[in-house]
Amino acid sequence: MHHRRRPARLFPIAFLCLAATPALAQYQPRETFAPRPPTQAVNAYRSANGLPGPQYWQNKADYQIHATLQPDQPAISGDEVITYTNNSPDRLSELWLQLDQNIYKTDSRSGYANGKAREGTTDGFVLDSVSIGSGKAASISYTVSDTRLRIALPTPLAAKGGQVKLHIRYHFAIPGEWGGRMGWGKAKAGPVYEIAQWYPRMAVYDDIRGWDTLPYLAQEFYLDYGNFDYWVTAPSTMLVAGSGELANPQEVLTSEQQSRLKKARASDKTVTIRSVPEIDDPKSRPKKDGTLTWHYRMQNSRDVVFAASAAFAWDAARINLPGGKSALAMSFYPAESQGSERWGRSTEYLKDAVERFSARWYPYPWPVAVNIAGPDDLAGMEYPGLLFDGIGDKTKDLFWVTAHEIGHTWFPMVVGFDERRDAWMDEGFNTFIDVYESDDFNHGEYAPKRDVEYAPGGGNPVDEIIEVLKDRDAPPILSRADTVIEKYRHPVTYFKSALGLVLLREQILGPERFDAAFRQFTAAWAFKHPKPDDFFRAMESSTGEDLSWWWRGWYDHNWTLDLAIDKIGPATDDKDKDNKDKAPKGTAITVGSHDKLVMPVTLRVDFADGSHRDYRLPAESWIRQASTTVTVEPGKTVVQATLDPDHKIPDGNRGNDKLRADAK
């Protein structure tokens, strides 16, 4: 696109006359800097500073679950008791639960959301009984609607602390399909089961929508927090790795394995718990036949999952946390994944990521972090304290996927974003912190981060994002997650969202202000449910900036950026209208905005003596007009001027970013 030259300074009348010309039509200051009122009201629950209010409340769901893995079918049968605490100010006449396994039924909404009816692979959750109360529980009527379960309470649940116990017995067939982010597949030595969404779970009742009952469409989750006590019975040949801490190691591990675990808890080097040669050794299991029951506990979590296989090797190392605390990093993988180029370094990667994320943003909250090597078509999924990654992952790809999946501990496992509506917060925030982990690990061994999540072409992220910004069909970041088709899921939900935070940190606010505000937001909302407006308010309030222009251009819309050097010429004194004073006024450099998005930018001016000077132009340079002028004092001979000389912002037209003073 050709851009017309502009004068060094525009007065309001001149601007109004020129605004209709093609060169200026795309940028209107009143549009870019228009008021952006929040969509969420301030009240006693959510404060104007973006942090939880003095009366913020949140309901709680505690679980006791007994489950049995039946590999011959394969299937799970379970018996759970949910203790649900209503901390809201409302009496609840009904309860809603999530039945995510129902996406595998023939008539599921998930199938139709993908453009056709699903060819049903299971019957979903089969509810054997649903009852309420403690002691002699009373059966109740309920309604199943797709992936939701509605229970009408015989007596409303009291506000501000009322409790109810639900008792549910159920079973389901384990699908061998990734669409539900869990399943089973085979390693060379036998099947690997990665079991998630394996028990009916409470839906969230919050202060924004009441019951949030979006159906599960094979995207992700929104869950309340609570404590978990769960038991998994499996064939004795299997290792079962679960979220949380193993409560009965003496019953399911050999004495040698218990000793090795103790050693790992004190070791910064990876310690083998079960070696690859021991996989086929019956002595590596405390019992040769029948079943064993593994007991796990996890406190203050929104979910728990587990993996089971007889084909697992296992290693571990200590994680060093702030304040002298520690946790344990562990990896489980089959024989074909061993080696220093493959899963032999998984625990090293996991340990480093948890330590650095903890030091930089917020301490890791749980005693164990686990990485599982499962079938590659089931790879790359995060749950609290446990990751499902791929048998075939190696070197930088294994590092990147490990850092990314454990990074989800912070977003959304600790900061409880609603992934079903706002996946950009979950994926984008996590990809953002992953960028710095790639830079930090082992002196940048796998830096910079360039993978499917962030600058997948391997180039400069601010160049690669241009294609997304110029795509008229690309959805804005603030789109409901379920509406973002696969073509745009990584480019927008991951890449653009993460780059938006990188630009906010490095180009708009600076690391010092950004980091302090981001840490405050993370700590204040740990184990709570912030919404997008809470984040926007928190960053503005803490950093002292009105960022509405940035939220509007980058998040509300898919606007593009085109800053340009429009003119270099003699400076004039506006007061000297008769031009009587012939003394030189210096050199005027006019920088214009040719598109809707603006950003702060560095202007580098090169002088004839070989030196240069950098000017930092704030976003407000274009708050009243489409161009701004930088004047270089007399005595300095300007040779050329360059915008964004270090290539840090996503300018869509680099051709007008440099101009020589003698250009005609």
Question: Which of 663, 501, 467, 480 has the alpha carbon at shortest distance from 569?
Answer: 663
Q: How far apart are CA 175 and CA 185, in angstroms?
A: 10
Q: How far apart are CA 70 and CA 109, in angstroms?
A: 28
Question: Which of 555, 548, 533, 552 has the alpha carbon at shortest distance from 51?
Answer: 533
**Coil, strand or helix: which one is 271?**
strand
- Angle, in degrees to the nearest 10, between helices 395-407 and 346-360: 40
- Give the burial class of 46: count Cβ atoms within 10 A of its Cβ; 0-12 exposed, 13-18 middle, 19 or more buried: buried
Q: How far apart are CA 141 and CA 153, in angstroms?
A: 9
Q: Please tell me the predicted confidence (pLDDT) of residue 581.
A: 62
Q: Please tell me the predicted confidence (pLDDT) of residue 5.
A: 31
Q: How far apart are CA 410 and CA 418, in angstroms?
A: 13
Q: Please tell me the predicted confidence (pLDDT) of residue 121.
A: 84
Which residue ranges of the chain lie beneath pLDDT 50? 1-24
Q: How far apart are CA 98 and CA 349, in angstroms?
A: 34
Question: Which of 659, 661, 601, 587 has the alpha carbon at shortest distance from 630?
Answer: 587
Question: Which of 526, 542, 632 has the alpha carbon at shortest distance from 589?
Answer: 632
Q: How far apart are CA 194 and CA 372, in angstroms?
A: 9
Report yes or no: 198 and 125 within 8 Å, Cβ to Cβ. no
Fill in the DSSP letter of residue 39.
S
Q: Please tell me the predicted confidence (pLDDT) of residue 510.
A: 98
Which secondary structure element, helix H or strand E, spans residue 226, and what is its range?
strand 226-235
